[in-house]
Structure 1
Amino acid sequence: MLNDSTVTANVPASDIDRARTFYADMLGLTPSDENAGGLVYTTAGGTSFFLYPTEYAGQAGHTIAQWHVSSVDDEVRELKAKGLQFEHYDMPGVTWDGDVARMEGMGSAAWFKDSEGNIMCLDDAPTG
């Protein structure tokens, strides 16, 4: 049943070419597949997301995808060097160390918006 399935995130893009450039130049990602509906990205970790064109991109007021990384600090430093801007949110129990949020018992996280206004997250929270 569903427990044995994989899940793919769907990420909206109002301008698929602009989004492709952002994901390539800023995040270092290359589509693993391309079809009439959009672009598929597959990570070395075995997960994937589908970037598809729609006029409704960037309208979600919440995180739509998150990357579980070994070091949020290192990723933020690398992405900031490429010019990526990070978001800061007022959340209870969170302390900020520059662009990195520290959350007791949950690890660290950092949020940014992609070229389409979608909120993305980097975190080092345990996944299992």
Structure 2
Amino acid sequence: MFGTTEAFSSFSVNDIEAARHFYGETLGLGVEDGMMGNLTLRLGGGSRALIYAKPDHTPAGFTILNFVSDDVEKSVDELNAKGVTTKIYDDDELPDMPPNDAKGIMHNENGEAEIAWFTDPAGNVLAVVSSKMPG
């Protein structure tokens, strides 16, 4: 039914202006004003996501966006330099996964950086993921 239909994701935040700054200035993504005070987030490859304000916003308990990187270590260093914390999980919170290093990067069995998680100002979880990661 929707196999050839354009689709996009959406998620809520508690502060549209904080989201505009974080996604536009901190992450360097295209952010456009949308209808009814919402924001349209322009992602690589032509994808987009809708960000909307929700007064009783509760942060997503799962990763809402994954940013693919050829160099997770470098991406994490750049995020950290902009004040973004990437060590958001303790190892006991991810018991079935390899431990995270001091920066919050999970490495695979070969020692390659695979993924690091961080949050937006509304507490939603985002990740930077290795372009070599299977899946």
- Scaled by the length of structure 1, the TM-score of the pair is 0.83
Measured in 2, the distance between the counterparts of 1:123 and 1:113 equals 14
Local SS of the residue matching 1:4: coil
Cα displacement (A) at 1:114: 0.1
Cα displacement (A) at 1:97: 2.8
Instruction: Indicate the RMSD between aligned Cα atoms, in angstroms.
Output: 2.3
Alignment CA distance shift 1:37-1:69 (3 Å): same
Q: How many pairs are equivalent?
A: 127
Runs of 4+ more than 4 Å apart? none
% same residue: 29
Structure with more relative contact order (C-alpha pairs < 8 Å, separation 6 or more): 1
Alignment CA distance shift 1:123-1:2 (3 Å): same
Aligned to 2:106: 101
Measured in 2, the distance between the counterparts of 1:104 and 1:9 equals 32
Cα displacement (A) at 1:76: 0.6
- Scaled by the length of structure 2, the TM-score of the pair is 0.79
More strand by share: 1
Cα displacement (A) at 1:126: 4.1
Local SS of the residue matching 2:80: helix
Give the letter for the 2:78 counterpart.
Answer: E
Aligned to 2:7: 7
